[in-house]
């Protein structure tokens, strides 16, 4: 696969994140356009967002079962299934490719990205987060249980997860307020209720389920259900988590916010970048074995920018480091008969690489707060007030790039008293 040329010139450079090969799905509004009063669905192309809500309304885009884009979220398209996804991409490609005859009808529906306000791209029906990165699980396990018991006994057999809160998922650019919570006191003393002092990120990918399911599905069926992927930051209050998580897992530590990138990159755009999960240390039970490569080669990085300061890239890693793919996680998720719905969001788990500078959380980067890391103008163990954390990711094709848009959030100070009325 090489660059597909578009008449939108800014889409044709090797490092443009939104070439014709990508066509990610978002929701936007822009002053002075048809989307000013209610946001529209759009697909990014070069330096623009293409107003696909308007294209469908004018009959330039026809989707089976439509209209599907007359609401400010992509769920109806997602639920319509793989044939509609392919038809959407084929029609938009036909309208935007170099030499397209309908260019003069489409040009009016391009809105400059810098004028567009990006909203949540879909309604999150439910949110599940996993713990499926081996380097992350090993690092965290070593810190809390020692190197010999780093991985729990189930870890090499199932992708461990917990049910998160759909209501807490926000789009990039949303400020995140430092949470209060109950944390462990000195031995046998009463715990304290205070603002989190160990507020952290988790660098993850999020998969968005399109096709619903009832009952168990195979890994291959699970892969076919996935509509696309986003970058995902699972904000985590480590001090709250350490006190609350036994024996039922994370609860309030993970409920403040989870930030996603504004563009859902459809699975079709990522096909050329499929890679296999690493070799299995122990064979998986048959229902979790993969029939083919289901991870993706996506380079990832995290930038930390203090208030008024310069950004430092604090981590560089790759999605291919995961031990379990989302297809395996989704298959596992359904083994109990759990129904899955369009708009289900699955966090991959923190994506850490094997090296010190490829760790996907500050907990690991600062080794539990013991080894501060350098950032512009100082050091960090955990996030300080008014730091902005930015996740970026891209797949590098032959002469083109597939980008996701930044997944950024600024941490603003805790309230002085969360119960003040």
Residues at the contact surface with Mn ion, assessed by CB under 5 A = 129, 202, 234
Q: How many residues does the chain have?
A: 421
Nearer residue to Mn ion within complex by CB, 79 or 129 = 129
- Secondary structure element (H or E) that encloses residue 410, with its range: strand 407-412
The strand pairing partners of 42, in sequence order, are 26, 51
**5: exposed, middle or buried (Cβ count in 10 Å: 0-12, 13-18, 19+):** middle
For residue 326, give every residue at least 6 positions away whose Cβ sits within 8 Å of its Cβ, in sequence order, or none: 205, 207, 222, 226, 229, 294, 346, 348
Residues labelled catalytic: 136
- When the beta carbons of 25 and 253 are compared against Mn ion, the nearer one is 253
Residue pair 253/216 in contact by the 8 Å Cβ criterion:
no
Tokens of 106: 């489409």
d(CA 316, CA 413): 27
Measured from the CB atom, is 63 or 322 closer to Mn ion?
A: 322
The CB-of-136 to Mn ion minimum distance in angstroms stands at 9
DSSP SS3 for 335:
coil
Taking the complex as a whole, the smallest distance from the CB of residue 263 to Mn ion amounts, in Å, to 21
Quick one: tokens of 237? Answer: 């209050």
Q: How far apart are CA 92 and CA 280, in angstroms?
A: 40
Structure tokens at 365: 């980067």
> Toward Mn ion, which CB reaches closer, 110 or 365?
365
The residue among 119 and 202 lying less far from Mn ion, judged by its C-beta, is: 202
Residue carrying structure tokens 């304290």: 192
Give me the residue whose beta carbon is nearest to Mn ion. 234
**How far apart, in whole angstroms, are the C-alpha atoms of residue 400 and residue 22?**
9
Least distance from Mn ion to the Cβ atom of residue 145, Å: 18
Q: Which two tokens stand for residue 41?
A: 């669905």
Q: How near is the Cβ of 347 to Mn ion at its closest, in Å? A: 5
Q: How far is the CB of 234 from Mn ion (least distance, A)?
A: 3
Residue with smaller CB distance to Mn ion, 16 or 231: 231
Tell the smallest beta-carbon distance from residue 202 to Mn ion (Å): 4
Q: Alpha-carbon distance 19 to 401, whole Å?
A: 7
């Amino acid at each position: 696969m090489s660059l597909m040329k578009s008449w939108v010139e800014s889409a044709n450079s090797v490092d443009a994140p939104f070439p014709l090969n990508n066509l990610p799905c978002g929701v936007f509004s822009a002053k002075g356009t048809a989307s000013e009063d209610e946001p529209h669905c759009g697909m990014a192309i070069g330096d623009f967002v293409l107003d696909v809500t308007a294209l469908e309304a004018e009959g330039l885009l026809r989707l089976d079962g439509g209209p599907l884009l007359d609401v400010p979220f992509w769920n109806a398209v997602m639920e319509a299934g793989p044939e509609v996804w392919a038809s959407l991409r084929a029609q938009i490609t036909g309208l935007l490719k170099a030499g397209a005859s309908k260019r003069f009808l489409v040009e009016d529906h391009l809105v400059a990205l810098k004028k567009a306000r990006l909203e949540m791209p879909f309604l999150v029906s439910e949110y599940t987060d996993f713990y499926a990165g081996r380097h992350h699980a090993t690092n965290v396990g070593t810190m809390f249980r020692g190197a010999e018991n780093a991985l729990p006994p189930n870890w090499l057999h199932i992708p461990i997860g917990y049910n998160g809160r759909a209501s807490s998922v926000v789009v990039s650019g949303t400020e995140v307020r430092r949470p209060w919570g109950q944390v462990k006191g000195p031995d046998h003393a009463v715990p304290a209720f205070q603002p989190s002092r160990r507020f952290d990120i988790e660098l993850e990918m999020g998969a968005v389920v399109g096709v619903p399911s009832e009952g168990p599905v195979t890994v291959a069926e699970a892969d076919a259900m996935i509509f696309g992927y986003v970058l995902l930051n699972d904000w985590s209050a480590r001090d709250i988590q350490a006190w609350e998580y036994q024996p039922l897992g994370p609860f309030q530590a993970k409920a403040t916010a989870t930030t996603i990138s504004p563009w859902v990159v459809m699975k079709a755009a990522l096909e050329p970048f499929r890679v296999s999960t690493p070799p299995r240390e122990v064979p998986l039970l048959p229902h979790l074995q993969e029939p083919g490569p289901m991870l993706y080669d996506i380079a990832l990085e995290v930038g930390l920018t203090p208030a008024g300061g310069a950004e430092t890239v604090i981590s560089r890693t790759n999605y291919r480091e995961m031990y379990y793919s989302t297809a395996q996680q989704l298959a596992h998720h359904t083994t109990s008969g759990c129904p899955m719905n369009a708009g289900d969001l699955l966090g991959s788990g923190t994506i850490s690489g094997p090296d010190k500078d490829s760790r996907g959380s500050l907990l690991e980067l600062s080794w539990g707060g013991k080894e501060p890391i350098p950032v512009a103008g100082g050091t960090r163990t955990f996030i300080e007030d008014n730091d902005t954390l930015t996740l970026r990711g891209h797949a590098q094709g032959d002469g083109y790039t597939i980008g996701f848009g930044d997944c950024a959030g600024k941490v603003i100070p805790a309230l002085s008293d969360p119960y003040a009325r």
